[in-house]
Amino acid sequence: MAEDQHRSKRRKTKADGSVVRIGDKVISLSAYLQPTQQPKKEQPVTDQQTATPTEKTQAETVKQDKKLKPERRPKFAPDSPLLKSRKALPIWSYQDEICSSLRGANDVLLIVGETGSGKSTQTPQFLCSEPWCRRKKVRVQSQEVNVGGVIAVTQPRRVAATTLANRVAQEMGTPLGSSREGSVGYSVRFDHNVPKGTKVKFLTEGMLLQEILRDPNLRQYSAVIVDEIHERSVDVDLIAGFLKQILSSDKSGRGGIPLKVVIMSATADVEKIQDFFKPQQPEASVQFLRIKGRQYPVEVKHTDKPVLDLQEALMKQIFKIHLQEPLPGDILAFLTGQEEIETAQRLIEEYTATLAPNMPKLMAYPLYGQLSMQAQQDAFRPTKKGFARKVVLATNIAETSVTVPGVRYVIDCGKAKVKQFRSRLGMESLLAKAISKSSAIQRTGRAGREGPGKCYRLYTSETYDSLRDADLPEILRNDVLGAVLTMKARGINDILSFPLMDSPDIESIEKALMYLHFLGAVADDGSITDIGKKLALFPVSAPYGRVLIAACEPEFDCLLEVIDIIACITSGENIFHQLQSEEAKEEVEELRRELYRREGDIVTYLTTMQQYTAENSDRVEWCKKRRINVRNMRQALNIRKQLRGLCLREGMLREPPPPDPQPFSPLSPERAEALLRCFLRGFVGKCALLAPDSSYVTIQGKHVVAIHPSSTLHGQKKEAIMFLEHVFTQKNYAKKVSAVQADWIVEAMTRGGGGGGGV
């Protein structure tokens, strides 16, 4: 009796959610919690094995927890800093509205959330625990398949996808890299981190397009969130079209389960998007929410008169802020490109070395698209030196999606490099052009994300008033070759009938189809070929993909060499630093001469990569001596690794290549010829012949081009040249140039790309 009383008291002092107390009786709920569990035979136990009812219930609860495997949800204390910061976001109070907007027959939600509202990080977290977001087993064409369970969040840039994924992973209690399992992952070109059990997956628009080609119904996703749609890239316009097709289909490819779509932007054309996604069912509609941002006041300062030298004005403004404005308060400066950023970084490093010891240091961090993932993340971390100010030198990739912590001062140069394709000339221009008012407002907002700030615009208020309201959609100004190939690979035969918010002109589409026909990507009847399907899945442009395929042919047999070259070309603006002074040229001339090849830039890239990977001591020092961009070479190594892995998986490589370092062996003239003829399979349309007046005239369009000063063939005269890029800056330039022979061009045009005719 005494023992029973003792046990009763012990039960009362122990809280247990799986038991009910009525008076002094304790009733276990384990039978109700585990109705399917089979009762075990009672075994005789010794005193040491005796368990109290409470202990038994706890053990049963643990078993039950293991069996049910509940979703990993963040278990934050009420005073958790992460939870507090989430609740402080303006979007937090809209959680119920966002969730209820996608219940029932409504499958599309448009959120216009101002800068700082928290839409990019919070919306997927609100939705991933909704009942419709669970993975379900369904029958599709007599097969049992899984549908849903994951939310995709597209971003226009790699840095946004990876940064947001890291932040949301922390907020959901499963930081990336801490375990093989987790709630959040990301997928960008040449870099994937998708843990087992991922519920939210951030990815670039291009990566989602790749997934659409492999799975047109996007079966792994319950929802797709399209973020920053106002940027109107070619990829996001294609995604919008494919999503519209899925939404308007009979959903049989998803076993009848609808796909939810959320469109998000800071500055969207609401009516246009609502009209585009307008559902066919009368009972459904495009839901719309407008969310105010958390924006502190920002003082905007314009120049009194137009600025003649942007680089000089920007440097002066950075130094002035550093000397006159108090700490803490970091600087975000918008520049036009990688070359300008690296020049500014060098000048800042020289300047900070001259500062007095009692002055805070000025730490410069670059931020642009081709930068390695690690270097991009460095721009978001606090400076390691306590008594210092950080200045982030960025292109327009820092305009939207991501917040650089600590920024109080923004310097806006008012320009951005814009690609524009001229289909009649078959030429792309890359010029620094004035930004739109929308971009200027976005840049200004970066100074007021964490507190009151200042924005210094390096242009007059009159110039601002003259800016256009928004940028022209990319699909109306860029080459549509990749877009047409993607549509063909997805089975869209009638390109003109594909749903797009803005359609490119017919001439651009026709030119793209002709080029794809030459590459062997489309047949005479316009249908996609096996080569075309393969090209669409490569993470490089169609011409480079065609060169990769040709490199596997016995005639050329140069796949590893082609991978090395493509890795160098796609790693950044240029692996070679431009030498400004004669003194600098003299310093590195001898060492660079070891890399330069008379055949031109393609073989020079190969020689550089082969010598770099053969270096067994200090690769950084090797690059510095030759004034080669260290960051770009590291990125090239990463791309090389990814392309080699892809070619192994596709059966294009029979066995893994030997590991680095390998002894360097110069390419023979015969092998160099085979390599250049291989590149003609993708780039015969970009060739020019030497004219009697010593100028080069393109074989397509008969345009005069000059060899760009950055080329090893600059100033030389060859019978014919092949160029991988064709741009207009100050004049009509051919870039990445190699010497070829006229009969090679004729041969390549006659043979085509393996399935098409000539051009």
Query: In CATH, what number is assigned to the domain containing residue 103?
Result: 3.40.50.300
Average pLDDT value for the chain: 85
Burial of 629 (0-12, 13-18, 19+ CB in 10 A): buried
Encoding tokens for residue 26? Answer: 């304790």
506 domain-assigned: no
pLDDT band at 429 (very low <50, low <70, confident <90, very high): confident
Mean pLDDT across the stretch 544-563? 96
Please indicate, yes or no, whether residues 646 and 690 belong to a single structural domain of this protein. no
Instruction: Give 2 or 414, the one with higher predicted confidence.
Output: 414
482 domain-assigned: no
| Cβ pair 178, 501 in contact under 8 A | no
335 domain-assigned: yes
Please indicate, yes or no, whether residues 191 and 95 belong to a single structural domain of this protein. yes
The count of structural domains within the chain is: 5
| pLDDT at 745 (0 to 100) | 95
Please indicate, yes or no, whether residues 264 and 376 belong to a single structural domain of this protein. no
Please indicate, yes or no, whether residues 133 and 173 belong to a single structural domain of this protein. yes
For the four alpha carbons of 273, 279, 280 and 282, in that order, the dihedral sign comes to negative
Please indicate, yes or no, whether residues 558 and 696 belong to a single structural domain of this protein. no
Is beta strand 184-188 parallel, antiparallel or unpaired with respect to 200-204?
Answer: parallel
Please indicate, yes or no, whether residues 588 and 707 belong to a single structural domain of this protein. no
Please indicate, yes or no, whether residues 302 and 403 belong to a single structural domain of this protein. yes
| Residue that is last in its domain, among 229, 259, 291 | 291
| Residue that is last in its domain, among 668, 699, 722 | 668
| pLDDT at 580 (0 to 100) | 64
Element holding 144 (H helix, E strand): strand 143-147
pLDDT(2) > 90: no
Tell me how long the chain is. Answer: 759
Please indicate, yes or no, whether residues 98 and 17 belong to a single structural domain of this protein. no
Instruction: Give 137 or 55, the one with higher predicted confidence.
Output: 137
734 domain-assigned: yes
Please indicate, yes or no, whether residues 265 and 314 belong to a single structural domain of this protein. no
Tens-place pLDDT, residues 214-250: 999 999 999 999 999 988 999 999 999 999 999 999 8
Is beta strand 25-28 parallel, antiparallel or unpaired with respect to 150-155?
Answer: unpaired
Residue 173 falls in which region: left (phi positive, over 0), alpha (psi -120 to 50) or beta: left
Mean pLDDT across the stretch 385-402? 86
| pLDDT at 332 (0 to 100) | 97
Please indicate, yes or no, whether residues 121 and 254 belong to a single structural domain of this protein. yes
224 domain-assigned: yes
| pLDDT at 159 (0 to 100) | 86
Fill in the amino acid letter for 55: E
If you search the block for the tokens 């190939």, which residue do you land on? 485
513 domain-assigned: no
Q: What is the DSSP string of 471-498?
A: PPPGGGTS--HHHHHHHHHTT---GGGS
Fill in the amino acid letter for 94: Y
Indicate the DSSP class of residue 104.
T
454 domain-assigned: yes
Domain span including residue 273: 81-291
The residues pairing with 271 across neighbouring beta strands, listed in sequence order, are none
Instruction: Give 18 or 302, the one with higher predicted confidence.
Output: 302
| Cβ pair 372, 481 in contact under 8 A | no
Distance CA(313)–CA(325), nearest Å, equals: 17
334 domain-assigned: yes
Is this prediction's pTM over 0.75? yes
For the four alpha carbons of 566, 479, 573 and 409, in that order, the dihedral sign comes to negative
| pLDDT at 425 (0 to 100) | 63
Please indicate, yes or no, whether residues 318 and 429 belong to a single structural domain of this protein. yes
Instruction: Give 3 or 202, the one with higher predicted confidence.
Output: 202
pLDDT(496) > 70: yes
| Residue that is last in its domain, among 643, 668, 693 | 668
| pLDDT at 57 (0 to 100) | 35
Mean pLDDT across the stretch 537-541? 91
Q: What is the DSSP string of 711-739?
A: STTTT---SEEEEEEEEESSSEEEEEEEE
Could you tell me where the beta strands, DSSP code E, fall in 131-199?
136-140, 143-147, 150-155, 184-188, 191-193
Please indicate, yes or no, whether residues 557 and 437 belong to a single structural domain of this protein. no
Tens-place pLDDT, residues 645-703: 999 999 999 999 999 999 999 999 999 999 999 999 999 989 999 999 999 999 988 88
